[in-house]
Amino acid sequence: APPLYPCHVETFAAPLAVGQFCVQCVLCLAFLVTFAACNAPHIPLDDIFIEKTFVPEKCVRAVQVGDYVRYHYIGTFPDGTKFDSSYDRGSTYNVFVGKKQLIQGMDKALVGMCVNERSLVKIPPHLAYGKQGYGDIIPADAILHFDVLLLDIWNPEDGVQINTYFTPPTCSRKVEVSDFVRYHYNGTLLDGTLFDSSHTRMRTYDTYVGIGWLIAGMDQGLLGMCVGERRIIKMPPSLGYGENGDGSDIPGQASLVFDVVLLDLHNPRDEITVTNQQVPESCTRKTQTGDFVRYHYNGSLLDGTFFDSSYSRNRTYDTYVGRGYVIAGMDEGLIGVCVGEKRTITIPHIWHMERKIPGSAVLVFDIHIIDFHNPSDSTDVSVTYKPEECDRQTKKGDFVKYHYNASLLDGSSIDSTYNYGKTYNIVLGANQVVPGMEDGLVGMCVGEKRHLVIPPHLGYGERGVTDEVPGSAVLVFDVELVEYEEGLPEGYMFIWNEEVSPDLFSEMDKDNNKQVEASEFTDYIMRQVSEGKGRLAPGFDSYRIIDNMFSNQDRNGDGKITENEFKLKADEAAHDEL
C-alpha cells in the first residue's frame, strides 16, 4: 500500500533530489480525497519518508554519497517522545554519508539535501534499528522520526574554491607567494553564520601570503588576486581549522567561506617605485642630497584611499632631502627631481614607519616639485641682453633705477614694476633690497637685462612675505637697468667737486652773526649742489643728509654752529662732514 502522508510542493520542485519519492507524491495527489488518512499512524513504511520543512532559496550545495556532513537533529518516536538530540549536546552531528556509518534510512535521507535545508525524516524499522532496537533507547521495530537541519557539506576531494565576483579595471600585479597583503574579509560558515569580520575590528587584516602565516585555504585562495578584486574563497576544514575548529566560533570539521576584498599588495623586498613622471622640457638641475625642496603632494593608499595632502593646508611641504627628515622612501623618491616635475612615488611599508597610517600599508604619493635649492647656493645671475656699449657699470653706492618681473620657480608671478608704471629705484649696497638682488644688480650697464635666481637665504628666508612670497621660496627676477646715478665714494654722503673755499664759515654765515643756523647751512649746501660745486649721495633725501651733516657739526646741539665747532670738526678725518 502506498504511504498516504501529506506531501510538500517542494518535493516536486526537486524531483531528482528525492528520487522515488516523487512517484509516491504523485500518488498522494491522486488520493487527495483520502487526505485525512495521511496522518494516520501505524501504517508501516516501506521506505523512508521525507517532509521538507524548510528549503533555502538557493541550494549552496547538495549532499552526495561520500560527502561529509554536519547537521543538527532531534530524534523522536512517532508519538513525539524525544530519544536523542544533537542540540542537547551542543554540537552538530558530523559524519560521512553513504558509508554505512549511519542507519540506512539516514544515509539515504541525507543524500540530495541542501545546506540550510530542514526535513522531517521518517524511517521504518528495517532501515533503522530493526528488531534489535538499540539498548534501552530504541525499542524493537521502532519507527524513528528525525528533524534534520543540514549545516555543512564537504568532500575529502575538495580543494580551495575561488569565485571572483569583482575584477578591477586595471591590475598591474597579482598576489604571489611571500607578498604582504592587506585585505578586508567576512568569514562565514557554509550555512551563512558569520564567525569573524575584519570590519568589526575596523581594520584590515595584514599578513604575508603563502608562507604559512594563514590557514592553508587562505594561503592558496589569496594567490593571484589583484588590488581591488573581490572573491569568495571556500575551503574544507582540512584547509581551514580542521577537526577541532578554532576553539571559539569555528566548530570542528567546518567548511569556511571568506568574502575577501584586497586593498593592498606589495613585497617586502620591493624598492620604492617611481611612475607617471612628467619632467619639464627644460631641466638644468636635479635635486641632490642636502637640497631643500618645496613640493605639493597627495598621499593615498594603494586602493586609492586618500590620507593626506599638502593642498588641504594650502602650503607646500618643505624639507631637506636625503637627510632623514622625511620617511625613508620619500627621501629616496625626492632625489633626482627637477623643478616642476611630477611623479608618483610608491613606497612599500619598510620604507616608512608612520603611526597614523594603517600598519604595513603601501603609500602612494603624487608629488609636484615647486622648487628646490641648496643652502650653499649663491644668486644665479645670467645676462639675457647686453647693450653694445657697456663701459660704465653699476657699483656699490650707485643710485639705480630698474624694472623687474618677479616670480617663483613654478612660474607664478609675484610682482612687477610694470604694474606700477615706474622703475624701482635703490641705492646699491644700502640694504634696501634682499642680498640676492644686490648681487644681481652690480656690474650692470644701462639697458642690460638679467635673469636672477635667488635662493631663499639671499631672498626672503624661511618666513617669506605674507600673502606674497611663500617661506623658503626661490625667487626669480627678470631685471632691466633703465638708468643710474653714480654714487659717492663709499662712506660719503656729500663731496666737493672742486677745491673747497678757504673761507667756508663766513660764506655760510650769511647774516654775519658769527654762527651758522640750520637754514643758512641748508641754503649753502643746496646752492653748492645746484651750482655743481658739490654732490650729495644719490638716492637719499637731500634734506635728511644735510640735517645729519648739520647735527654732526653742531657739537653741543644748540641748533647753531660756531666757528669753534666748525674748526673742531674740520680737524677730524670724517666722512659726511665738510
Ligand X SMILES: *[C@@H]1O[C@H](CO)[C@@H](O)[C@H](O)[C@H]1NC(C)=O
CB of 510: closest distance to Ca ion in angstroms?
Answer: 6
Contacts of 466 by beta carbon, 8 Å cutoff, 6+ apart: none
> What SS3 class is residue 500?
coil
Residue closer to Ca ion, measured from CB, 379 or 515: 515
Binding segment for ligand X (CB under 6 A), chosen from 133-141, 152-160, 458-466, 474-482, is 474-482
Nearer to ligand X, 32 or 202 (CB): 202
User: CA 546, 547, 549, 553 torsion: positive or negative?
Assistant: positive
- Candidates 34, 167, 506, 513; binder of Ca ion (CB under 5 A) is 513
Q: What binding mask, one character per residue, do residues 403-432 give for ligand X by CB under 6 A, x or -?
A: x-x----------x-x--------------
Task: For ligand X, give the closer residue by CB, 292 or 295.
Answer: 295
185 near ligand X, rule: CB under 6 A: yes
d(CA 253, CA 69): 9
Q: Candidates 74-82, 402-410, 428-436, 503-511 — which segment interacts with Ca ion by CB under 5 A?
A: 503-511
Q: What's the rounded Cα separation, in Å, for the pair 370 and 409? A: 7
What is the total residue count of the chain? 578
Closer to Ca ion by Cβ: residue 49 or 505: 505
Task: List own/partner pairs for 374-377 with CB under 8 A and 24 or more apart.
Answer: 374/288, 374/290, 374/291, 374/292, 374/455, 375/290, 375/292, 375/455, 375/457, 377/455, 377/457, 377/458
Give catalytic status of residue 258 as yes or no: yes
Strands (E), 55-123: 68-76, 82-85, 93-96, 118-123
Could you confirm whether 195 is annotated as catalytic?
yes
Joined together, the cell numbers standing for residue 232 give 569568495
- Contact between 161 and 235 (Cβ < 8 Å): yes
Report the residue from 39, 81, 248, 314 that binds ligand X according to the rule CB under 6 A: 314
Query: Residue 373: what residue type?
Result: H
384 binds Ca ion (CB under 5 A): no
Given the residues 68, 73, 180, 258, the one annotated as active site:
258
> Which residue in the list 185, 292, 320, 365 is annotated as catalytic?
185
Per-residue x/- track, 335-364, ligand X (CB under 6 A): -------x----------------------
Selecting among 21, 195, 317, 521, the annotated active-site residue is 195
**# chain residues binding Ca ion, by CB under 5 A:** 4
In terms of CB distance, is 259 or 439 closer to ligand X? Answer: 259
- Cα angle 368, 374, 378; round to 5: 125
Q: Is 196 a catalytic residue?
A: yes
Residue type, 171: C
Active-site position among 50, 153, 215, 561: 215
Near ligand X by CB under 6 A, which window of 210-218, 281-289, 365-373, 517-525? 365-373
DSSP classification of residue 357: S
C-alpha distances in Å from residue 299, one per residue of 362, 450, 493: 10, 39, 58
The residue range among 24-32, 253-261, 371-379, 502-510 that interacts with ligand X, by the rule CB under 6 A, is 253-261
| Amino acid occupying residue 301 | L
- Four-residue CA torsion sign, 247, 251, 255, 257: negative
**Which of 212, 187, 190 has its CA nearest to residue 201?**
187
Q: Pick from 113, 112, 94: which is nearest to 102 by CA?
A: 94
138 is catalytic: no
Q: Is 410 a residue of the active site?
A: no
- The two beta strands, 230-235 and 205-208, are unpaired
Does the protein bind Ca ion through residue 303 (CB under 5 A)? Answer: no
What is the smallest separation between the CB atom of 387 and ligand X, expressed in angstroms? 14
Q: How far is CA 508 from CA 247, 551, 552, 561, 569, in A?
A: 112, 15, 16, 10, 15
Distance in Å, CB of 517 to Ca ion, minimum: 5
Provide the grid cell at 92.
Answer: 552538530
Q: Show the binding pattern over residues 367-386: x = contacts ligand X (CB under 6 A), - = does not.
A: xx------------------
Closest separation in Å from C-beta 323 to ligand X: 23
The reply on whether position 509 binds Ca ion by CB under 5 A is yes
Is the Cβ of residue 105 or residue 333 nearer to ligand X in the bound state? 333
**Partner interacting with residue 49 (select from Ca ion, ligand X, none; CB below 5-8 Å by kind):** none
Q: Is 311 a catalytic residue?
A: no
**Residue 166 touches ligand X, criterion: CB under 6 A:** no
- Who's near 479: CB < 8 A, 6+ residues apart? 402, 403, 404, 440, 441, 449, 450, 452
- Residue closer to Ca ion by CB (options 24, 528) is 528
Q: Which is nearer to ligand X, 187 or 455 (CB)?
A: 187
The answer to whether 311 contacts ligand X (rule: CB under 6 A) is yes
Catalytic residues: 185, 195-196, 215, 241, 258
Which residues sit at the interface with ligand X, rule CB under 6 A? 184-186, 197, 199, 230, 259-261, 296, 298, 311, 313-314, 342, 366-368, 403, 405, 416, 418, 449, 478-480
